A and B are shown apart, each in its own frame.
Chain A
Amino acid sequence: MEQKNAKGWLYLLPAIAFLGVFMVYPLVDVFVYSFEEGYNSASQTFFGVGLYNYSYVLHDPYFLQALKNTFLLVIITVPLSTGLALLISVGLSSIQKLKDLFQTIYFLPYVTNTLAVGLVFMILFKRTPYTDGLVNLMLHWFGAGPIDFIDGPHWAKMFVLCFYTIWVVMPFKILILTSALASVNQDYYNAARIDGTSRSRIFFRITLPMISPMLFYLIITGFIGAFKAYSDAVAIFGTDLNAAGMNTMVGYVYDMLYGDSGGYPSYASAAAIILFAIVLTITCINLMVSRKHVHY
């Protein structure tokens, strides 16, 4: 038995070594940094150990702005994108003609580069001295005034960011959900039809529970992905997100490390640990909720 155990560990050694060096160690290190006050990466020195880094970050208006932006982004985009993806998938799986064409079209954003798409969004929404942009042109038809979506009020910028995020994350969700829907055995629907089940009841009592594992997977990864949003904001608002008031938590961490005001790994670590704690909490809540509603 002992012998077998040793052999097992030997086989696991390469994976453990890699994970240890490149994942566990950095994680622990970040955790340690976040408590080291005044850490200097050049001299590898610090003044003391304490909670000052956390206190600094939590009082930094830029961090609070980033926190607010991130939460808004998560709360708006995760339910909306998942709900819309579900709607579109159900629609897709109930049509016969042109199904493949639509599936391809819906999947296109997934294979398109984020930054390129961001640029397109910026052009659509941006006002320049020469033009108000396509979106403002359309708003104008409905009598709404021109809104500066890129440099204007916070809500307008938030709207563009959410719009963009939803647009980018939906293809993957549609892909997953259409295949989940297709894998539900047709006999369940036939059985339901013979029993005279209404369409809404079929959807809520049969379809949803059947695809709940996939839906749950999408919600969890959606939450995590949205909390980690950064490149989307950069794509639309440029690298100086603090100035635009559109920074996200990951953006804040990045700025603290490498940005113009950067060079503070301790603050960055503290912010990263706070983000980690938030994502962990939300995921745990998700898992607890899922226990009741997800049927494997």
Chain B
Amino acid sequence: MKVVLEHLTKSFPSRNKKVKEPVIAVNDFSFEIPDGELIGLLGPSGCGKSTMLNLICGLQTPTSGKIYFGEDDVTNLPPENRGVGLVFQNYALYPHLTVLQNILFPLQNLKGAARPSKEEMMNKALDAARLVQIERLLERKPSEMSGGQQQRVAIARALVKRPRVLLLDEPLSNLDARLRLQTREEIRRIQRETGITTVFVTHDQEEAMSISDRIVVMKAGLLQQIGKPQEVYDDPVNLFVAKFLGTPPINVFEGEVRNGLLYIGENSVLQAPGAPDRKVWIGVRPEGFLPEQAGPLRCTLSGVEVMGRDISVVASHPACSAAAIRAIISAESAVDPKAETVRFALKPNKVHVFDRESEERLRIELK
């Protein structure tokens, strides 16, 4: 089921008595989710991700704009008529019901012709349980299960009615690091097996990048960028997106384009033929540094962390907006941990240039 959002806006009346302006949680949002894809909705806390999800599932109605599931306009449909499944951040499993009763619950709500027979209900519930591999826990109460297991039950409950769209609200944030890795693979597998269009909300960029077909980056209710994870990472449209994606994060320097050269402080680091002179932000991905004896970027070395496959070089530079620069270089390259300075050359495709004022990406050719 394709999901289309058209100029979706949601504002809330201001609670502040002095400022009457409404709070805009989602601002003129348009995008299309192709059928059967897993979309990661990504942004910092408070950027309107959850509001977005509530709009799609119908718990909230948009102030303006339209939502389509396939060809159907569902903008004003109540949630139960939209055919959505939602997995809550805290799972919202009914604590007094067993796993089986929890999974059966949505089916038992059906009325009239849509209501399956008892046997069918049981079969559907068992199918859902099998899909998330909890068929041995059916008699347990939610409190008798681990977070990961509860998560699976929540997904089974959301899937048992075969929703047209599956929505997951920060599904992994209550799990420990190991389970998180496991469960995200699991979500990916379940989504592939069922082919249900899925929207996955998270503030963890790594999570979103690793399992999404496409990620949507949001900031303050506004759509920043939408695309395949690698594309967005390699080609961010502005400084916010560049900073938000990637661990360790991108290193940002104050810089300048002067006479066709790109400067970080007084170090001319790359050539920018034909670019007009201006002040810029320069973002360099951690993997964009090449240690070289005569490299143009001179940094003060603070430390070297060996991580096996890679080496993480921590350094500082007066033009850097953060206290420390983090560079990831391959373990073969030699950096003397006792040296005071380290010199880098930069890989042009890992360097992004942004306007100093608007922070929009400047499409400058670098060499």
A191 within 8 A of B: yes
Cα distance, A34 to B84, chains bound together (Å): 68
- The residue that A197 contacts in the complex, of B57, B86, B92, B109, with Cβ under 8 A, is B109
The answer on a CB contact under 8 Å between A190 and B96 is no
B58, B86, B110: which has the most chain A beta carbons within 10 Å? B86
The reply on A194 being an interface residue by CB < 8 A is yes
A196 and B109 contact, CB distance less than 8 A: yes
Task: Kindly state whether residue B181 has any CB partner on chain A within 8 Å.
Answer: no
Look across to chain B and name the residue whose beta carbon is closest to the beta carbon of A190.
B59
Tell me the smallest distance from the CB of B60 to a CB of chain A, in Å: 10
Choice from A191, A198, A201, A205 contacting B86 with Cβ under 8 Å: A191
Q: Does A7 contact B (CB under 8 A)?
A: no
Q: A210: which B residues are within 8 A, CB to CB?
A: 95-96
Contact between chains at B109 and A190 (CB < 8 Å): no
- Give the number of chain B interface residues (Cβ < 8 Å): 23
Decide if B96 touches A196 in the complex (CB within 8 Å).
no
Least Cβ distance of B266 to chain A in Å?
56
Is there an interface contact between A187 and B88, defined as CB atoms closer than 8 Å? yes
Cβ A196 vs Cβ B90 within 8 A: no
Contact of B92 among A185, A196, A198 (CB under 8 A): A185
**Does B68 count as interface, using CB distance less than 8 angstroms?**
no
B109 touches A195 (CB 8 A): yes
Question: What are the residues of chain B within 8 A of A188 when measuring CB–CB?
Answer: 92, 94
Q: How far is the CA of A90 from the CA of B85 in the complex (A)?
A: 27
Instruction: Give the number of A-B contacts (CB < 8 Å).
Output: 55
Decide if B94 touches A194 in the complex (CB within 8 Å): no
Say if the beta carbon of A295 comes within 8 Å of chain B: yes
Also in contact, A190 and B92, with CB within 8 A (given A197-B109, A201-B109): yes
Is B96 within 8 A of A194, CB to CB? no
Which residues of A, 159-217, contact B by the 8 Å Cβ criterion? 185, 187-188, 190-191, 193-198, 201, 205-206, 209-210, 212
Question: Known contacts A185-B90, A188-B92, A295-B95: does B84 contact A194 (CB below 8 Å)?
Answer: yes
* Interface bits B40-71 vs A (CB < 8 Å: 1, else 0): 00000000000000000111000000000000
Shortest Cβ distance from B81 into A: residue: A196
B80–A193 CB distance below 8 A: yes
Chain A residues bordering chain B, tally (CB within 8 A): 18
The complex places the Cα of A188 from the Cα of B106 at a distance, in Å, of 13
Distance (whole angstroms) from the CB of A240 to the closest CB of chain B: 50
Q: Does B161 contact A (CB under 8 A)?
A: yes
Which residues of chain A from 240 to 296 have any CB-CB distance to chain B below 8 Å in the complex?
A: 295
Complex: A88 Cα to B287 Cα, angstroms: 64
Rank and list the top 6 A-B pairs by shortest CB-CB distance, nearest first. A196-B80, A295-B96, A195-B106, A187-B92, A209-B96, A191-B92
Give A residues with C-beta under 8 Å from B. Answer: 185, 187-188, 190-191, 193-198, 201, 205-206, 209-210, 212, 295
Q: CB within 8 Å of A: which residues of B?
A: 57-59, 78-81, 84-86, 88, 90, 92, 94-96, 105-106, 109-111, 157, 161
What are some 14 contacts across the A-B interface (CB < 8 A)?
A191-B157, A194-B58, A194-B79, A195-B80, A195-B105, A195-B157, A195-B161, A196-B80, A196-B81, A197-B80, A205-B105, A209-B94, A210-B95, A210-B96
